[in-house]
């Protein structure tokens, strides 16, 4: 059977047809099973087929599937928004619901811009982001992201965004500097960029607290985000934390920035918010931003048909209730130790695993040709895609990343299993991954 719709993967090949999911497992019609080691793309935080979420969705659809926000609000949307702002750092007052991560970024960018128009600083027009980043595939989000491979052919359509260096300790920290000094160097670069653009011309700095889709769970170095926050405050610039991938418990705290001890002005969330049960994303908004819009225009000048979708909000609320009621953040922190230990036992001496990094149940492996020099494999070999293929053939889903990133090529593998994974399943995941990496490397031309 050829696919009439999977154009974004291949117009030539068709993937297997997924028919059923239960826990950390996905099945096709033939009964083949795959361990969902990446939660899809760090989405399925509760795994598949969770009865509490399904039940909440049933009840909501029965009562009311959808009511347009131009006329109504709904109880699940209100309850979910309240939960998100109560649990968010700082003085958050509103959550603005959209249908996914890219939409959340678009909304955050526009909200940041509107904020400055409201407070009488319309001259602020610049966005700063980082070269090694992914913020989504719509034109605004793509412009903010730094993934060159994704940007290339659309570059003429993208707004001008200034990109600074990523926080990429494995490759970029100098031998003679500490991690803290490296953080400071990056923060100075951000400040220089702000000054070059004009301190009163910048709207926001946008960054993923833990980089996901371009680098396989890359955490910041100590003090980096504190320094970033200080610089943003110094020049009155907003900080947008993109937690679309790393948020909602994935790193062991509900919001990843909690571990950086900072309060972003806007936080975007998506994947783990609805856990894949419904498409939903959100922007979590600090009160002073919402207050400015309330005093000014009186509303956020934005909107899509499906914002605040009642069934999506009910599903997300159920997901968040399960995370809270089943104490899953604690479980993520415990299982993180198990996963780390297994990864280190398996791969710390591996000749082609250069770096193992991450937090919570969000880990990345960076594959290299030579550990000592950190030399990458020839990008034409597409090693990351080979690992994905070999893993899939062994009943394991892992998320591969490659292509040009920050002017460099690399092969990265992202792991983001559901929070309900067991220790035995972690063991199976790591074993299958090791076999897949081995087979992928053996498949390379001599
Ligand atoms: N931001 C980040 C950090 C992401 O990882 C992603 C998706 N990988 C997005 C934004 C875009 O989200 P979506 O694919 O839901 O539009």
HSE, CB side, 13 Å, CA atoms: give it for residue 265: 26
As a whole number, mean pLDDT of residues 231-239 equals 98
pLDDT band at 405 (very low <50, low <70, confident <90, very high): low
Q: Measure 268 CA to ligand 1 centroid, in angstroms.
A: 10
Yes or no: say if 76 and 310 are a contact pair by the CB < 8 Å rule. Answer: yes
> Which of 144, 211, 213, 362 is the pocket-test mutation for ligand 1 (most atoms within 8 Å of CB)?
213
Residue spans of the domains in the chain: they are: 18-49+326-442, 53-325
pLDDT at 4 over 90: no
pLDDT at 285 over 80: yes
As a whole number, mean pLDDT of residues 400-405 equals 75
Q: Is 242 in the pocket of ligand 1 (CB under 6 A)?
A: yes
Q: Measure 24 CA to ligand 1 centroid, in angstroms.
A: 21
Q: Measure 278 CA to ligand 1 centroid, in angstroms.
A: 15
Structure tokens at 60: 């909501």
CA 14 to chain centre: 26
Closest CA to 268 of 144, 131, 157, 416: 144
pLDDT at 408: 67
Closest CA to 275 of 249, 251, 257, 300: 249
As a whole number, mean pLDDT of residues 209-227 equals 95
Label the pairing between strands 238-243 and 266-269: parallel
Q: Is 64 in the pocket of ligand 1 (CB under 6 A)?
A: no
Q: Measure 175 CA to ligand 1 centroid, in angstroms.
A: 33
Express each pLDDT in 314-368 by its tens digit.
999 999 999 999 999 999 999 999 999 999 999 999 999 999 999 999 999 999 9
pLDDT at 420 over 90: yes
The closest-lying atom of ligand 1 relative to the alpha carbon of residue 281 is 15
Q: Is 135 in the pocket of ligand 1 (CB under 6 A)?
A: yes
Q: Is 101 in the pocket of ligand 1 (CB under 6 A)?
A: yes
Higher pLDDT, 421 or 402: 421
Distance CA 207, CA 205 (A): 7
Express each pLDDT in 95-145 by its tens digit.
999 999 999 999 999 999 999 999 999 999 999 999 989 999 999 999 999
As a whole number, mean pLDDT of residues 409-426 equals 95
pLDDT at 25: 98
The closest-lying atom of ligand 1 relative to the alpha carbon of residue 270 is 15
Distance CA 367, CA 386 (A): 12
pLDDT band at 403 (very low <50, low <70, confident <90, very high): low
Q: Is 41 in the pocket of ligand 1 (CB under 6 A)?
A: yes
In angstroms, what CA-CA distances link 144 with 90, 119, 126, 325? 25, 24, 11, 36
154 C-beta neighbours (distance < 10 Å), count: 12
pLDDT band at 274 (very low <50, low <70, confident <90, very high): very high
Yes or no: say if 193 and 222 are a contact pair by the CB < 8 Å rule. Answer: no
Average per-residue pLDDT for the chain: 96
Q: Measure 271 CA to ligand 1 centroid, in angstroms.
A: 8
> Which of 134, 214, 246 is the pocket-test mutation for ligand 1 (most atoms within 8 Å of CB)?
134
Q: Is 270 in the pocket of ligand 1 (CB under 6 A)?
A: yes
295 C-beta neighbours (distance < 10 Å), count: 10
Cα dihedral: 255, 260, 266, 272 (round 10):
-20
As a whole number, mean pLDDT of residues 276-280 equals 98
pLDDT at 9: 77
Sheet holding 281-286, edge to edge: 92-98, 281-286, 266-269, 238-243, 202-207, 126-130, 162-164
As a whole number, mean pLDDT of residues 82-98 equals 98
pLDDT at 271 over 90: yes
pLDDT band at 215 (very low <50, low <70, confident <90, very high): confident
pLDDT band at 188 (very low <50, low <70, confident <90, very high): very high
- CATH code at 18-49+326-442: 3.90.1150.10
Q: Is 211 in the pocket of ligand 1 (CB under 6 A)?
A: no
Q: Is 142 in the pocket of ligand 1 (CB under 6 A)?
A: no
β-sheet bridge partners, residue 284: 95, 267
> Which of 38, 244, 248, 364 is the pocket-test mutation for ligand 1 (most atoms within 8 Å of CB)?
244
Distance CA 147, CA 311 (A): 33
Sheet holding 411-415, edge to edge: 353-359, 362-367, 411-415, 399-401
Yes or no: say if 377 and 367 are a contact pair by the CB < 8 Å rule. Answer: yes
The closest-lying atom of ligand 1 relative to the alpha carbon of residue 243 is 3
pTM (predicted TM-score): 0.97
Q: Where are the alpha helices (DSSP H) in 223-352?
A: 224-234, 271-274, 287-295, 310-325, 328-347
Question: Domain spanning 53-325: which CATH class is it, in words?
Answer: alpha beta
Structure tokens at 432: 């299958």
């Amino acid at each position: 059977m050829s696919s009439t719709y999977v154009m974004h993967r291949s117009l030539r090949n068709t993937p297997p047809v997924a028919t059923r999911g239960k826990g950390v497992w996905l099945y096709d019609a033939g009964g083949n099973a795959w361990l969902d080691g990446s939660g899809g793309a760090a989405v399925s935080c509760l795994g598949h087929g969770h009865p509490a979420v399904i039940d909440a969705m049933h009840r909501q659809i029965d009562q009311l599937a959808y009511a347009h926000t131009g006329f109504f609000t709904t109880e699940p949307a209100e309850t979910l928004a309240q939960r998100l702002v109560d649990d968010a750092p700082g003085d958050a007052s509103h959550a603005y619901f959209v249908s996914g991560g890219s939409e959340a970024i678009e909304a955050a960018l526009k909200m940041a811009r509107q904020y400055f128009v409201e407070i009488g600083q319309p001259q602020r027009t610049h966005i700063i982001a980082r070269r090694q980043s992914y913020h989504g595939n719509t034109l605004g989000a793509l412009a903010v992201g730094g993934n060159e491979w994704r940007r290339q052919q659309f570059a003429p359509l993208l707004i001008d965004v200034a990109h600074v260096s990523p926080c990429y300790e494995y490759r970029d920290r100098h031998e003679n500097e500490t991690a803290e000094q490296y953080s400071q160097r990056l923060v100075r670069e951000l400040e220089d960029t702000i000054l070059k653009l004009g301190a009163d011309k910048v709207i926001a700095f946008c960054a993923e607290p833990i980089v996901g889709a371009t680098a396989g769970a890359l955490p910041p170095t100590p003090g980096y985000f504190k320094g970033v926050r200080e610089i943003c405050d110094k020049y009155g610039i907003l900080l947008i934390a993109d937690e679309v991938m790393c948020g909602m418990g994935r790193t062991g705290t509900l919001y990843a920035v909690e571990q950086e001890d900072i309060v972003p002005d806007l936080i975007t969330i998506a994947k783990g918010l609805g856990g894949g049960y419904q498409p939903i994303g959100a922007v979590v908004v600090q009160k002073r931003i919402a207050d400015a819009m309330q005093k000014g225009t009186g509303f956020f000048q934005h909107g899509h048909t499906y914002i605040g979708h009642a069934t999506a909000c009910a599903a997300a609320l159920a997901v968040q209730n399960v995370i809270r009621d089943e104490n899953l953040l604690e479980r993520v922190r415990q299982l993180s130790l198990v996963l780390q230990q297994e990864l280190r036992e398996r791969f710390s001496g591996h000749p082609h695993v250069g770096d193992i990094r991450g937090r919570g149940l969000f880990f990345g492996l960076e594959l290299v040709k030579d550990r000592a020099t950190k030399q990458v494999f020839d990008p034409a070999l597409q090693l990351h895609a080979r690992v994905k293929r070999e893993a899939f053939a062994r009943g394991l889903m892992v998320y591969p990343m490659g292509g040009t990133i920050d002017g460099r090529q690399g092969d990265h593998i992202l792991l983001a299993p559901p929070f309900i994974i067991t220790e035995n399943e972690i063991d199976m995941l790591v074993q299958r991954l090791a076999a897949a990496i081995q087979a992928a490397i053996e498949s390379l031309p001599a």
